[in-house]
Each structure stands twice: as C-alpha cells, then as structure tokens.
Structure 1
Amino acid sequence: MHVVTTIAGSDSGGGAGIQADLKTFQELHVFGTSVITALTAQNTLGVSGVLPIEAAFIQQQFFALLEDFDIRAVKTGMLFSADIIHSIAQILQHKQLPLVVDPVMIAKGGASLLQQQAIEAMRSELLPLATILTPNIPEAETLTGQHIETVDDIHRAAQTLLQVGGQCIIIKGGHFECSTTATDYVFFQDGRAWMMTMPRIETLNTHGTGCTFSAALTAFLGNGLPIEQAIIEAKKFIHLAITHDLKLGHGHGPTNHFAYQQYQGSCEVIVHEA
C-alpha cells in the first residue's frame, strides 16, 4: 500500500483539514500520514479559535515520517504563518515528491486561516515546488494581486502563477456566479489548458471541498496515476461528495467522503479546451 502525507490544520468538526484528508486517503486506498500545523476549534457554523503549532515541532513531525515511510505524495493545506511555510519548504525542496498545494486562506465561515505576512512566503517558497496548485478564485486573486471576474482574467492569473513555478495550476471556478454549471480551469507549464465542467449542486454543505479535492489528487498521484487522470478522478470524487451530502450540522455541513466508493465513481466530467 502506498503512503501519502497531509500537512495541514486540524478541524475539530471533521469536515475539512487533516480529518477530511485522512478520510479521503482511506477511501482511495492509500495509507494516510499527517503533519499537524495548527489546531482549530470549529464546527459547521465557523471557526472560534486557532492554535498554531511551533514550526520546529512541525519539522519534527515531518522528519519522523520521512525517516520511516516511503512517502509517494504530499499535500499542504492550512499553513497559517510564514514560519510554518518556511519550515515545510526547507524540507520539501530537498525531496523529489509530487506536491499538491491547496493554498488555504479563509474558512467557509469567513475566518482567516493564513496570516497576511505568510502570503509572500507561500508565493516565493512553496509554489515553485508544487506539482499542482489548487486555488479557488479568491485565493488566486490574493496570490497574484489580480482581480478575477472573467475567464480571460482566469487565464491571466494562471499565467502569472505558472511563472512563479509549479507544473500545473487548477483554478476552481465555484465562486463564479452561474445557475447550472461549475467549471474548473486547468493549466500546464507546457501550454496545455482545459476546462472541467460539471452540474452545479445547490447546497450549503460544502465545508472542506477544497481540502477533499486536493487530498483526492494526492491519493491518486500517490497511487501512480498520470496527472491528467488524477485531476479528472479527483473531480469525480468531490462532485459525488457534494452531490450526496450528509446533511450534518447547522451551517456549512461537510461533504460525503463515502460517496465515490458508494457510487463507484459514477459521474461524467466534461473536459474541453480552455
């Protein structure tokens, strides 16, 4: 069994962060290990507290994994501070590992999960190491300093991010207003670009969607899928998880991490050139 690692914050509500990642890994038949960067007090209604872990102990956690496991892929989620980002990047720059960077900045309830001074550290130290970067539109705006309102804006932002580094950028289009469809935009360093379009699901239960999508990507890469196939299967995973939600909590509820296996990955991702 292949081993993968998530480097992220803990979500006491279980819908996002380390908890969502490990659930996703288990469902996709990889062995999940973790480096916890912060503890949060949160539920479906929001985040009421954040307790970051010291950067030295974060490195200690990661070194403990690397000396014992043959890790096949890594993902990062909530990293919170510049010190934490620096501590992780210091290790990753010496490893040839597939890396999925989910630049977690804001929780569903609006709480900040990334300090302002950490944004430049993420841009300069972590993004150049990424195999795949998975920002939503607000995160892409923050990382590029560019306002995004149109598909042309997405193309410009993607090119800006690709200049920083990374093999592939997926800008998730869920924040675009559209009544019937949601489209994600995929860009590669070699100039290829395509879109993935799925029916938009009307639900409040989208807590942890970014974490879950990036964790699925990590699992598929860890199992050896080509990057293009990993992206499409990860899209199926999160689409089914949103479609068949669990209706838990009184706010933005979690997605259904069981759904991909329960429905045997049965949904169609419409792929066309961007």
Structure 2
Amino acid sequence: MTSRALLPVALSIAGSDPSGGAGIQADLKTFHAHGVYGLTVPTLITVQNTLGVQEVFPLPAGLVQRQIEALLEDFEIAVIKIGALGNADIIQAVAEVLQGTRSPVVLDPVLVSSSGKTLLTVEGIHALKTLLFPLCTLITPNLPELQVLYGGQVPDTGTFLVKGGHGSGEILVDALWVNGIQMAFYPAQKQHTRHLHGTGCTLSSSIAAHLALGSLLDMAISKAHAYLQEAIRHAPDLGQGSGGLEHFWMQKRS
C-alpha cells in the first residue's frame, strides 16, 4: 500500500454567525481554502446578519468543554484558533481543557461585534487575560480591542499581532510584538469597501492554517495578511450591510 500525507487538522473554538461571514463559519471556510481540515466547537449562538448582531446566546460552559475534549480524544490537532467566547465560565472551561495540549493557539480577542454589540463583560475580559492569554502562541487584537485590554499599550509579555485596520490614512499597518518589542510590520493599502465582515476571524484562522501547514509564525502572518487583502478585494457583495469576504478566491483564480 502507498502511504498518503496526513491532512493537517485545525480546530476553531468560536461563536456561530448564521450569515456566514464571521465566527466558526468564516474559520471553516478559511481552513478549507488553505487545504486544512477544519473542526469547530461553537461557544455561542448569535442572531445576526450583515446589518449587525441582534442577540447573543452563550452555550453552557460544560457543553463547550465536552465538545473540545471529544475532539482532542479523536484527532491529532495541528493548531487551535479561538474567537468569541461569551463569558468567564466558558473561558475558564476552555483554559482548563487546553492546559494539556501542545498545539499552537491563535486567539482573536473578540470583545465587541463590528456593529457595536458587547460580546464579553469586564469579568470575561479579566478571565481572558489571566487564564487564556498565557496559553496562546499569538493574540490578534485590533486597535479598539487593545485599548480595552491594555489601554492601547502592548504588554511586555506575550506575542501580539496588533491589527491596524481601524487606523487612519491610506496605508494600514499590522504590527507583530514579542514581549513588548516590535518585531515586524505588515502594511496594506486601505480598501474602500463596506464588505469587511469577518476580517479579524479570517486573518487569525488563516494564520492558524499556515501554522498547521508548517510555516513559522512570521511567515504565517505574512501569508495570511496577503490572503486577507485578496479575500476583501474579491468580496461577493452579499447582504445589505457589511458583507462577508471571498474565502475561496485562490481556488476561483486557478
């Protein structure tokens, strides 16, 4: 018999977006666009469309934990991506089950939806910083999230990709910080479009996918950054508000 290469497996632990633009739906599309097999554990259910998030329903923390445990028992998981978690109980449950894993963890600290809906309380933010951040390979806050987390300053411990999409000017810059030192820049021309739903989810899951495929962190970020720009550029113009991206632009181009 001829052997075949093991397909890399990535796990997304995040909220569900029924419009398909963000959350576990965007993560799954991104994983598969990169040739990575995607697993998902939903942490919360939302009522939302491209016009915004209307309601948020966190799942029981024990149910989230048992989903993760079941997958860890069955799969060799190459990377874990974490998105919206909903509350401190879910954060504690996720942290407990991930204590024994060796997989790299990419965490996108989703605190507020793009439409302004609060997704994590002050108690949840504290749990996120104290329980989960120490377990992460990379944390990817945007500028407003960094402001909420650390008053806009990058802490002197941990690895952070600070996303500059909310900045001013025509050139927007993401910056990689390691233990308080700025290590790399990833500039991009600002794209004037309303279809930006799920950009943070897509970037972080693309980074995770490239890590699963064997890239070192800096190269994974660089590749994911380029992938995101094209996913925005090819957005399919769906919905009346901020629509989702074209996660499969690479396949359509070929």
Deviation at 1:133, TM superposition (A): 0.5
1:78 equivalent to 2:69? Answer no
Matched, 1:126 2:132: yes
Considering only aligned residues, what root-mean-square deviation do their CA atoms show, in Å?
Answer: 1.3
Q: 2:175 aligns with which of 162, 169, 185?
A: 185
Task: Trace 1:34-45 onto structure 2 (pairs within 5 A).
Answer: 34-45=40-51
1:170 to 150, 154, 161: 161
2:162 aligned partner, one-letter code? I
Contact 2:175 2:182 in 1 (8 A): no
Between the aligned partners of 1:36 and 1:86, the Cα distance in structure 2 is 15
- TM-score, normalised to structure 2, is 0.94
**Which residue does the alignment assign to 1:137?**
143
Residue pairs, 1:72-221, within 5 angstroms: 72-144=78-150, 146=151, 148=152, 157-158=153-154, 160=155, 162-163=156-157, 166=158, 168-178=159-169, 180-189=170-179, 191=181, 193-221=183-211
Gaps of 5+ in 2: 1-6
Q: What SS does the aligned partner of 1:187 have?
A: strand
Q: Does 1:234 align with 2:224?
A: yes
Q: Which amino acid aligns with 2:58?
A: P
Structure 1 residue 192, shift from structure 2 partner? 5.3
One-letter amino acid of the structure 2 residue matched with residue 198 of structure 1? A
Shift in Å, 1:84: 0.4
Distance in 2 (CA, whole Å) between partners of 1:104 and 1:186 is: 18
Query: Percent of aligned positions with the same letter in both sequences?
Result: 41
Q: Deviations over 1:216-256 (max 9, x none)?
A: 01111111111111000110111111111111101111111
The equivalent residue for 1:151 is none
Q: TM-score, normalised by structure 1?
A: 0.88
By how many angstroms is 1:109 displaced?
1.0
Alignment partners' CA distance in 2, 1:254 and 1:234: 17
After TM superposition, give the deviation of residue 115 of structure 1 in Å.
2.2
- Contact 1:108–1:252 under 8 Å retained in 2: no
Distance 1:192 1:182 in 2: 16
Paired residue secondary structure (2:42):
strand
Letter in 1 for 2:187: T
Q: What's the counterpart of residue 3 of structure 1? A: 9
Residues 56 and 182 (structure 1), Cα distance of their counterparts in 2 relative to 1, 3 Å cut: same
Conserved? CA contact 1:213–1:235, under 8 Å: yes
Tell me which of 54, 57, 64 is aligned to 1:51.
Answer: 57
Deviations 1:50-98, CA, capped at 9 Å, x for gaps: 1111000001100110000000000100001000000001111221110
